[in-house]
Each structure stands twice: as C-alpha cells, then as structure tokens.
Amino acid sequence: MPDKITIIFFGDVVGSIGRRGIKNILPLWQKKYKPDLVIANIENLAHGSGLTTKTVADIQTTGIGVYTGGNHTWRKEDLANFVDLKIATPINDAHTITEHRWQEIEIKKTKIAVVSVLGEGMMKDETITNPFLAIRDMLPEIHDHLILVDIHAELTSEKKAMGFFLDGQVAVVMGTHTHVPTADAQILPSGTGYITDVGMVGAYPSVIGIDKEVIIEKFLTDSPINHEIPMASQIEINALLLEVDIKSKKTTKIKHLREIISAQGGAA
C-alpha cells in the first residue's frame, strides 16, 4: 500500500473570480503534483461572503473533494440547504449542523477527517465557543483518523497556539481567514504540519479580494465594508501542498504554493 497521501488545500476562494482561478489552475496542478485529495475553504464563495446553491454547483465541477467553511459561510443561505455538501464548518459555532461538524473521506484505505474551527479573538460573535476546548473534546471521536484542521481565525497568536496545542495529535493545522499568506509553512516538533495563513484565491491586485478603492474608503471614513469584487485581469492563487505519512499520520513535506495567473487562464 502506498505510504503517503498528497493533499492540496486552497485558501479562501473569493467570488466568481476565485472560482475561475480554481478552474484554471487545478487541472495544471493535478498533473504536476498528482494530489490524492483537494480541499478548499469556500466561506467567501458567493461574491465574497457565504454560499449559494448556484456557486456551490459551480465549484463542484472543479474536482475538489472536501470543503471547509468559516464565520461567513451561512451569510446568504441556510446551511440546511447544503446538508449533502461535503463541507466541514466550525465545530465551535452554534450555526454548525450535525452533518457538517466534520467530514470523512477514505483514501488509500486511510480514513481522513477534515475539521474546521473558529478563532475567538476579534471575531465579535457570541455564538463562538472556546476553540481549544472544542477541538480537545472532539479528538477522541476521530482519533483513529488522519486529521486535517482548518483554523479560521483573525489572530496569528491564536493560530500558532493552536498549532502547538495540536502538535502530534493531527496531521496539519492550516490557518485561513485573513486572505494574506504567511511565510511560515513548517513541520512542528512532534510532526504536525502548520501554516498561520494559506492566503486566498481571488482578484489581483486587491485588498483581501475586494476592490482596493472600496477598502481604502472604508479606512478613510470608518464605513462598513462593501464586498465589491473588482473585475481584475489577474488572479492570485494560494494553496498548501502536503505529503502525509499514512502510518504515522504526520506531515513529512509541506510547501506553500502561490501563483498569479491571467483571469483568462495561464500564467500572468
């Protein structure tokens, strides 16, 4: 039996241009890296915030096997509309339904558990409970799986602490939410892969996938964010490439992937 599983995890996919980026890059990366599993965070799938039936149908054509969510996932439609969608939404959020607490997929006779957890810091949401206690209490339920964790959080310190907290207990802890990739992809002392933030798949140039002028105006006037996605000619694609040892359930290789491509496809 092959001794490793290769995984590609895409950071937050932002709007239609992000979905286009996945469609353009994934066939190339499938040939180049030959992943056994592709995962993506899709909480910003529908025009930068939430999911819709239409946008989910669109992303399901790309070959992604499992999805993760975040604090924006249910902004447009109730997650009950997506009971059959293979998405893991945050285990410490009251909005998460039973079917989405975690997702299981079997590859090379190995059971894989994909888990999502929300950070508390700066989230301003009273429905979020302590993420460290939530994941600690969940681990016995999935201890026999190869475990992949998406921590969707604002604070870099909270993400890094979660990495060390879970080191040796899960295969990888992958940070999402800020849309800005960090240069710290690493394997922690006890074998858990880690990155503070994978980054996004979205418009380039932009500010976290949103029109830069809109965000500048927000900071000048202290106005609410308007999720206005620019009609950009380029797409920034950020993902994590992992190799996980089947026997130990630990990460053996980790690499951040970042490319800027033309919105029409191909290198920019």
The residues annotated as belonging to the active site are 72
Q: For the chain, how big is the Rg over CA atoms in Å? A: 17
Beta strand extents in the chain (DSSP E only): 4-10, 12-13, 37-41, 66-68, 87-88, 102-107, 110-118, 146-152, 172-176, 186-187, 193-195, 200-204, 234-245, 250-262
Q: What DSSP assignment string belongs to 29-72?
A: HHHHH--SEEEEE-TTTTTTSS--HHHHHHHTTTT--EEE--TT
Q: Determine whether 161 is exposed, middle or buried from the number of CB atoms within 10 Å of its CB (0-12, 13-18, 19+).
A: middle
Measured distance CA(179)–CA(32) in Å, rounded = 25
Question: In this structure, are strands 186-187 and 4-10 parallel, antiparallel, or unpaired?
Answer: unpaired
Q: What DSSP assignment string belongs to 126-142?
A: TTB--HHHHHHHHGGGG
Backbone angles phi, psi at 113, to 5 degrees: -115, 125
**Residue closest to 136 by CA, chosen among 89, 171, 93, 91:** 91
